[in-house]
């Protein structure tokens, strides 16, 4: 049975974080277990979540103290450690510097490698996507360890160990995948194939302070007080989703696709949880970004009709909007589904063409001030209940 360590850690104190991660490795099998992941002198690449340029301590990105705790432990097993990412918007180095990861890396001799070079690879027995251009640094690493942040996500419902590797697609190339895979189920299949291509080896999730609400960038911090570790990305994500409030993992598109494709363990009864008791760590007041099963559009001939009738849509909060037009910049559609237009008062605001919009929520994800949220149609509310 797939083993996952669920650890309680209530604050970002580097010695506490280090000790908890060591405890996690110990209860999972000790040095023998770690060496099954990290052979002697392996080249380790750490993949944090660097969604955008955020200040130190932001719940949007992998915390710098959490990052330091991980490095302290891994230095016992390899002296060849690097880290890298490719955010959805903005300069990678600036993002890594602003949130404190560069400072930590320099302290321990860990090299920063922004994902700029690509390598073309193919995947046999793909679920959905067999041809890939991915980060050369990520693909060629001996050991790829993902360090996701526990957060809500408008399209994927939540983002964790599986979703974090979307940053291994270089720069603006990510936008094309949203266009090719506008439905959440197909997008999720793509993410599974991506992780298979990369051979992601391990996950250590930062859930000490999670993000709830309008994630993955503009939600609110929530003290989840947890670290989750394991070889199985889907098992780690399933435990995280349960803690957040998805008691049935099949409520989320990624874990539903994992289950249907038999890609990895998903159901709680198929996962051996070591450390803390699951029920003692789960919460019932976490604000989910989305809930409900309308991420499937079975018949392609009625996809657009159904999307317009029941799918959530991006909605502008005018009092927050600074009219920066980033929503226009990041929209992957051609022609754009959102444009800056004048209203009756001659004021310029973002305006969406819902017939063109594929509901990828890139605009919501990357709005710098949280001025865009997801809303349900009236029919969507009736079918799935509530506003989320």
pLDDT at 173: 84
- What residue spans in the chain does CATH classification 3.40.50.11440 cover? 2-281
- Rounded mean pLDDT of the chain? 91
What tens digit of pLDDT does each residue of 52-73 get? 999 999 999 999 999 999 999 9
- Of 168, 318, 147, the closest CA to residue 227 belongs to 147
Residues 131-137: contacts with CB under 8 Å, at least 24 apart: 132/193, 132/194, 132/197, 133/169, 133/170, 133/173, 134/168, 134/169, 134/170, 134/194, 134/197, 134/198, 135/84, 135/86, 135/168, 135/169, 135/170, 137/45, 137/82, 137/84, 137/113
User: What pLDDT, on a 0 to 100 scale, did the predictor assign at position 293?
Assistant: 54
The string of pLDDT tens digits covering residues 99-128 is 999 999 999 999 999 999 999 999 999 999
pLDDT in tens, 301-334: 445 555 556 678 898 999 999 999 999 998 888 8
- For 43-58, what is the HEC assignment? EEEEEECCCCCCCCCC
Does the pLDDT of residue 300 top 50, yes or no?
no
pLDDT band at 296 (very low <50, low <70, confident <90, very high): very low
CATH of domain 300-384: 3.30.70.20
pLDDT at position 379: 55
pLDDT of residue 359: 84
Q: Which residues of 36-47 are buried (b: 16+ CB within 10 A; e: fewer)?
A: ebbeeebebbbb
d(CA 226, CA 291): 22
Query: Which of 73, 81, 72 has its CA nearest to residue 43?
Result: 81
With 0-12 / 13-18 / 19 or more C-beta atoms within 10 angstroms meaning exposed / middle / buried, residue 306 is middle
Q: In the chain, which residues fall in CATH 3.30.70.20?
A: 300-384
164-187 pLDDT, tens digit per residue, is 999 999 987 888 888 888 888 999
Q: Residue 332: its pLDDT value, please?
A: 87
Q: In the prediction, which pLDDT does 377 show? A: 67
- The pLDDT tens digits of the residues spanning 26-36 come to 999 999 999 99
pLDDT in the model for residue 374: 82
What does CATH list as the number for 2-281? 3.40.50.11440
- Is the pLDDT confidence value at 384 over 60? no
Closest to 368 measured CA to CA, from 47, 48, 49, 51: 51
Q: Quick one: CA torsion of 33, 281, 158, 312, rounded to 10 degrees? A: 160
* Token pair of 363 as six digits: 């605009």
What is the reported pTM? 0.89
């Amino acid at each position: 049975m797939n083993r996952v360590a669920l650890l309680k850690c209530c604050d970002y104190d580097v010695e506490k974080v280090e000790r908890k991660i060591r405890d996690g490795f110990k209860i999972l099998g000790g040095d023998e277990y770690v060496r099954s992941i990290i052979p002697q002198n392996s080249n380790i690449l750490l993949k944090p979540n660097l969604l955008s340029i955020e200040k130190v301590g932001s719940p949007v990105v992998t915390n710098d103290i959490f990052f330091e705790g991980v490095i302290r432990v891994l230095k016992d097993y390899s002296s060849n450690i690097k880290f890298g990412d490719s955010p959805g918007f903005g300069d990678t180095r600036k993002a890594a510097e602003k949130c404190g990861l560069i400072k930590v890396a320099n302290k321990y001799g860990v090299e920063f490698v922004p994902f700029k070079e690509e390598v073309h690879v193919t995947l046999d027995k793909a679920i959905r996507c067999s041809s890939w251009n991915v980060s050369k640094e990520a693909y060629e690493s001996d050991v790829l360890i993902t360090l996701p942040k526990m957060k809500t996500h408008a399209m994927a419902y939540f983002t964790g160990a599986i979703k974090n590797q979307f940053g291994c697609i270089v720069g603006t190339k990510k936008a094309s995948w949203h266009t090719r895979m506008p439905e959440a189920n197909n997008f999720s299949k793509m993410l599974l194939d991506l992780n298979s291509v990369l051979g992601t080896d391990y996950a250590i999730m930062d859930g000490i302070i999670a993000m709830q609400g309008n994630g993955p960038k503009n939600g609110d911090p929530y003290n989840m007080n947890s670290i989750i570790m394991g070889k199985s990305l889907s098992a780690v994500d399933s435990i995280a989703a349960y803690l957040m409030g998805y008691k049935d993992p099949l409520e989320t598109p990624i874990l539903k696709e994992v289950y249907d494709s038999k890609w990895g363990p998903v159901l709680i009864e198929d996962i051996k949880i070591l450390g803390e008791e699951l029920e003692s760590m789960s919460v019932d007041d976490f604000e989910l970004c989305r809930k409900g099963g309308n991420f499937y559009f079975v018949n392609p001939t009625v996809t657009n009709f159904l999307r317009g009738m029941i799918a959530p849509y991006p909605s502008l909060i005018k009092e927050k909007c600074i009219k920066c037009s980033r929503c226009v910049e990041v929209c992957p559609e051609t022609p754009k589904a959102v444009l800056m237009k004048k209203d009756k008062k001659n004021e310029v605001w973002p305006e969406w063409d819902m017939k063109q919009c594929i509901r990828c929520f890139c605009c919501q994800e990357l709005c710098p001030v949280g001025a865009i949220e997801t809303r349900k149609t009236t029919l969507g509310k009736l079918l799935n209940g509530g506003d989320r």
